[in-house]
């Protein structure tokens, strides 16, 4: 998951934890760096002090009464034949004396330097002399994991004329400092661990506190719907940003309610306009033949015609048929417009559905109840209306089918009543699927398109569902699920 896809709360939490970690790492790095700097300064200062002490001892010996040799370069080896070892033991470091060309004259020959120093020191002293150092030169090298500092300075006679080069080898022993550093880092690690745990708790609390109001706003927004009354958000002591957001949401709720009222009013007006058009259209259809029949009767009426009574009967029969059609139209619209009342009574659904199917005489209609008795609390008239409308629609889909078949089944599952009406008709096209439950929509040449909308209206009034599956030229299955109570 990308960082930008994480919630604000998680991003705040991660940011605070990272801040603590980065701060801890930086403090540890600075601490280690500071320890190393102090160690280097300590070693350098110690070497300087030892160098001053050794030079003082050398100068004292050169000018002492015990020295019987002249103070010249050639006699330095004889002058410090035994004395160099004494000074080396006192100061606990390697001492080498070179001539002015970098050749080793005398060495205390001990430990690390005795094994590795001659070639290295010879090379270093040669470079130091060639670089013309004035009074003091320090070189630091690491060999086989051991770090040592080399200090070079002139040995002078009584007139301060250089007669040799004094080299002190100081092997750095940082064991104590390293141990102190290790102990300090361990203690600091425990402190950082405690700080990290506290930071996790604090980050969780702060991130929750910061995003609490945002979450409240988000939850309210998720519940916002055009089809219901939406609650406004009321928060105590919100921040300025949250206050602005809440005000915007509350204003949106007000506007949404106004829009919903206007929309509902417009939809009702549009629905009644469409209904009026449909009623006018359906009533106009039988009125036209009635008008033509009356005009024809008026034009051809002859009281002396011996067949006058037969013609009157024929005209009357035609008018009665059209009047019956208008009555059926009025009843259909009345049934659709009338909201079904939730009149509930205990019914044996198996018998009621069988009774609804008895009005059909077609032999291709089959009934398959899964049980002999299924009791549900429903309105008998509305249940019959649902079944008959579905079967009528199924029969219409079989008009051009040779082996017609309609199967009606009734079953129950987990407290629900299930009614299925299946046919092997022509099916429903993709274009008609989305319109199948719309008022006025019909695929029949003579129909008002109110049957399935009325069925859907009844089913949803009882908190049920209606759905269908279909395949072109194979058939359609309508499935109704109603709660039994």
Instruction: Dump pLDDT digits (tens) for 344-385.
Output: 788 899 999 998 888 888 889 999 999 889 999 888 888 888
- Looking at per-residue confidence, does 341 or 397 come out higher? 397
In a domain, 384, yes or no: yes
Q: Which of 302, 337, 372 is the last residue of a domain?
A: 337
- The verdict on 297 and 423 lying in the same domain is no
Residue 320 sits in the same domain as residue 359? no
- Provide the CATH number for the domain around residue 120: 3.30.450.20
187 assigned to some structural domain: no
Residue pLDDT, tens place only, 433-472 = 877 777 655 655 455 456 788 888 888 888 889 999 998 8
Quick check: is 262 in a domain?
A: yes
In this structure, the answer to whether residues 374 and 395 fall within a common structural domain is yes
The pLDDT of residue 476: 92
457 found inside a domain: yes
The residue segments making up the domain with residue 369 are: 345-483
Least confident range of 8-17, 45-54, 279-288 = 279-288
User: What is the model's pLDDT at position 411?
Assistant: 93
User: What span, in angstroms and rounded, lies between the C-alpha atoms of 258 and 256?
Assistant: 5
Helix then strand then coil, in percent of the chain rounded to 5, is 55, 15, 25
| Lowest mean pLDDT segment, chosen from 110-114, 120-124, 400-404, 438-442 | 110-114
Domain-embedded: residue 183:
no
Query: Has this prediction a pTM greater than 0.85?
Result: no
Query: What's residue 355's pLDDT?
Result: 86
Boundary (domain end) residue, out of 337, 364, 396: 337
Question: Is 199 among the domain residues?
Answer: no
Total domains in the fold of the chain = 3
The verdict on residue 232 lying in a domain is: no
Do 72 and 171 reside in the same domain of the chain?
yes
Q: What are the beta bridge partners of residue 412?
A: 417
Do 174 and 41 fall into the same domain?
Answer: yes
* Beta partners for residue 476, in sequence order: 423, 470
3-state secondary structure 283-352: HHHHHHHHHHHHHHHHHHCCCCCCCHHHHHHHHHHHHHHHHHHHHHHHHHHHHHHCCCCCCCEEEEHHHH
Q: Enter the tokens of residue 204.
A: 């969780």
Q: Which of 125-134, 155-164, 334-343 has the lowest mean pLDDT?
A: 125-134
Judgement on whether residues 149 and 286 belong to the same structural domain of the protein: no
Residue 157 has pLDDT above 50, yes or no: yes
The verdict on 383 and 307 lying in the same domain is no
- Say if residues 104 and 122 touch (Cβ distance below 8 Å): yes
- Residue 336, CA distances (Å) to 19, 339, 422, 478, 480 in order: 67, 7, 24, 20, 19
Do 168 and 26 fall within a single domain? yes
- pLDDT tier for residue 118 given thresholds of 50, 70 and 90: very low
The CATH number linked to 375 is 3.30.565.10
Phi/psi for 372 (5° steps) reads: -75, -30
The β-bridge relationship of strands 365-369 and 406-413 is parallel
- Do 22 and 148 belong to one domain? yes
Q: Supply φ then ψ for residue 414, to 5 degrees.
A: 50, 45
- Residue of 90 and 6 predicted with greater confidence: 90
- The verdict on residue 24 lying in a domain is yes
Domain final residue, candidates 304, 337, 370: 337
Q: State the Cα–Cα distance between residues 461 and 455, nearest whole angstrom.
A: 10
56 plus 140 within the same structural domain: yes
The CB-side HSE value for 465 (13 A sphere, CA atoms) comes to 5
Q: Do both 290 and 154 map to the same domain?
A: no
Residues 195-224 pLDDT 10s = 888 888 887 777 777 666 666 777 766 666
435 and 328 part of one domain: no
C-beta of residue 76 within 8 angstroms of C-beta of residue 165 = no
């Amino acid at each position: 998951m990308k960082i930008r896809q994480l919630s604000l709360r998680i991003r705040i939490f991660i940011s605070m934890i990272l801040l603590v970690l980065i701060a801890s790492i930086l403090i540890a790095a600075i601490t280690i760096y500071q320890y190393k700097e102090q160690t280097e300064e300590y070693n350098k200062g110690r070497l300087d002090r030892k160098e001053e002490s050794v030079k003082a001892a050398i100068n004292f010996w050169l000018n002492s009464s015990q020295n019987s040799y002249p103070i010249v370069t050639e006699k330095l080896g004889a002058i410090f034949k035994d004395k160099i070892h004494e000074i080396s033991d006192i100061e606990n470091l390697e001492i080498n004396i070179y001539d002015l060309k970098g050749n080793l004259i005398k060495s205390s020959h001990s430990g690390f330097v005795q094994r590795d120093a001659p070639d290295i020191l010879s090379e270093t002293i040669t470079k130091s002399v060639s670089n013309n150092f004035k009074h003091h030169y320090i070189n630091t090298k690491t060999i086989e994991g051991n770090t040592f500092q080399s200090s070079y300075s002139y040995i002078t006679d009584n007139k301060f004329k250089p007669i040799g080069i004094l080299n002190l080898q100081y092997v750095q022993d940082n064991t104590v400092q390293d141990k102190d550093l290790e102990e300090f880092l361990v203690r600091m690690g425990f402190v950082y661990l405690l700080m990290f745990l506290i930071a996790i708790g604090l980050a969780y609390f702060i991130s929750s506190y910061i995003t609490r109001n945002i979450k409240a706003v988000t939850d309210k927004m998720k519940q916002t719907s055009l089809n219901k009354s939406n609650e406004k958000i009321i928060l105590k002591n919100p921040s300025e940003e949250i206050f602005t957001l809440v005000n915007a949401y509350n204003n949106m709720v007000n506007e949404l309610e106004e829009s919903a009222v206007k929309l509902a009013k417009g939809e009702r007006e549009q629905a009644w306009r469409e209904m009026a058009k449909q009623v006018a259209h359906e009533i106009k259809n039988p009125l036209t033949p009635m008008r033509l029949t009356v005009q024809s009767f008026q034009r051809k009426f002859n009281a002396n015609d011996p067949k006058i009574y037969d013609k009157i009967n024929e005209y009357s029969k035609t008018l009665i048929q059209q009047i019956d059609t208008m009555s059926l139209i009025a009843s259909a619209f009345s049934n659709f417009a009338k909201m079904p009342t939730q009149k509930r009574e205990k019914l044996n659904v198996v018998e009621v559905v069988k009774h609804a199917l008895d009005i059909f005489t077609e032999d291709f209609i089959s009934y398959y109840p899964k049980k002999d008795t299924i009791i549900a609390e429903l309105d008998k008239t509305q249940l019959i209306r649902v079944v008959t409308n579905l079967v009528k629609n199924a029969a219409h889909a079989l008009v051009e089918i040779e082996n017609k078949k309609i199967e009606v089944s009734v079953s129950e599952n987990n407290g629900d009543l299930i009614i299925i009406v299946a046919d092997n008709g022509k099916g429903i096209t993709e274009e008609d699927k989305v319109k199948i439950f719309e008022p006025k929509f019909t695929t029949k040449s003579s129909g008002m398109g109110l049957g399935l909308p009325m069925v859907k209206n009844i089913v949803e009034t009882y908190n049920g569902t209606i759905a269908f599956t279909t395949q072109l030229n194979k058939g359609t299955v309508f499935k109704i699920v109603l709660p039994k109570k």
